[in-house]
Structure 1
Amino acid sequence: MNAIEPLQPHQQPAPNSRVVPRTRRQPRRHPNRAIAIETTAKLAVNVVLSAAAIAALAQLLPYHLSQQTKLGEIREEVKRTEKRVNRLSNNFSRYFDPQQAKSVMQEQSHRVDPSQRQVVWLDNNTSDE
């Protein structure tokens, strides 16, 4: 069973055997078909991404315009507030100026300094009857 098999001389194919010629592949009818499919797929993806970007911009445009309007309103409010702050700052420095203390007290209390003379205007058109 475990006997060694005798070596057989190398057999050569019989001259009678027929060699079947290989069939030739037909040349591809569409040699650039894969490239065309890949390019079409890339183009489709880019069109979809562009459409999404345009849709996002279309939604953001009204928001941007409303924010610009609000910003303009805030800037106007800041200008008005700055004017008010400047006016109040000037008044503050005037109120605490010792040289103007008497005039400020007279303005706010409607009292007259005793050393000051009061002037009363009379209407000349009135006739005494």
Structure 2
Amino acid sequence: MNAIQPSRPHLEPIQSPTPKVVRKKVPQLRTQRTGALAIETTVKLAVNVIISGVAVSSLVHLLPYHQSIQTKLQEIRFEVKETEQRVSRLETEYKRTSDPQQAKNIMREQSHLVDPARRQIVLLRKDNKGIQELD
């Protein structure tokens, strides 16, 4: 029962003289892969050309709008500059009119009346014929 059993002889695989490999499928796969890559590349290129065309078209449409906005901006800057000058002039005038030391000068400028404390000076020209008033 528990006797040593004879060992089995080693089996060697039977080798055929030349193994046959099917090589016809490999070139077909390469051709299919090349064709698929060509189609994929063409599609990618077409999509990129379309996107580029849309981008260029958008820029062409935006250029006149940009120019009109720049023109409006220049006009607004000019108006702001004029307004700032006017505001500074009005501020100066307001400071002058609200100054109590300038009150007499302002009243004299804005009315035809003369300050009674002020003396009127009349220039005269002496000629042979007599004294004449200068105009």
TM-score, scaled to structure 1: 0.71
Change (3 A) 1:57 1:121: farther
Aligned residue pairs, count: 105
- The answer to whether structure 1 residue 100 and structure 2 residue 102 are counterparts is yes
In 1, distance between residues paired with 2:126 and 2:45?
Answer: 96
Aligned equivalent of 1:13: none
Runs of 4+ in structure 1 displaced over 4 angstroms?
120-125
For 1:8-87, list aligned pairs within 5 A. 25=25, 27-28=27-28, 30=31, 31-87=33-89
Which structure 2 segments of 5+ residues have no match? 1-21, 131-135
Which structure 1 segments of 5+ residues have no match? 1-21
The structure whose residues are more often strand, as a share, is: 2
The structure whose residues are more often helix, as a share, is: 2
The structure, 1 or 2, with the larger RCO (C-alpha pairs under 8 Å, 6+ apart) is 2
Change (3 A) 1:59 1:25: same
In 2, distance between residues paired with 1:66 and 1:117?
Answer: 63
Q: Which amino acid aligns with 1:115?
A: A
In 2, distance between residues paired with 1:122 and 1:49?
Answer: 92
Identical positions, percent: 55
Aligned equivalent of 2:113: 111
Give the alignment's Cα RMSD to 1 decimal: 2.5
TM-score, scaled to structure 2: 0.68
In 2, distance between residues paired with 1:27 and 1:122?
Answer: 126
